[in-house]
Amino acid sequence: MLRAALFLLLALDINGRWWGTLRVDGQATPIYLIVVREGDTLRGTGGPTRSEQAPMQNGHVQGARVIFDLAPGGRTPLHFDLTATADDRLKGSVTVRRNGQPVTGTVELTKRTAP
């Protein structure tokens, strides 16, 4: 029971900078996020680099789940559905529409502690 409570507290600490990789159709793309949690709402930015960022849209938290959309460079929005883990990671899926069809990939991010 104590371990579950500790996990929940750690999972909820998602404020900060995150970096990692998203993979869609065998292609790996770097991703860098700046996340600010305000209650169950998320705001922030994301993109392939620290300097190439787009604002988060529709961001919210449901338990340990982190859900938001990004449209980097004004392109087709990416929908993220991630889960916070006890080891400062966000893991889950990313979905993008190509030719009107959803294409799903994976995402794994690690919380950055240094600039």
pLDDT for 12: 65
| Nearest partner of 81 among 98, 101, 99, 64, judged by Cα | 64
- pLDDT tens by residue, 14-32: 999 999 999 999 999 999 9
In the chain, the number of structural domains is 1
pLDDT of 3 higher than 90? no
When the pLDDT of each residue in the chain is averaged and rounded to a whole number, the result is 88
CATH value at residue 57: 2.40.128.30
Domain that holds residue 17: 2-112
Rg (CA), the chain: 14
Task: Tell me the whole-structure pTM to 2 decimals.
Answer: 0.85
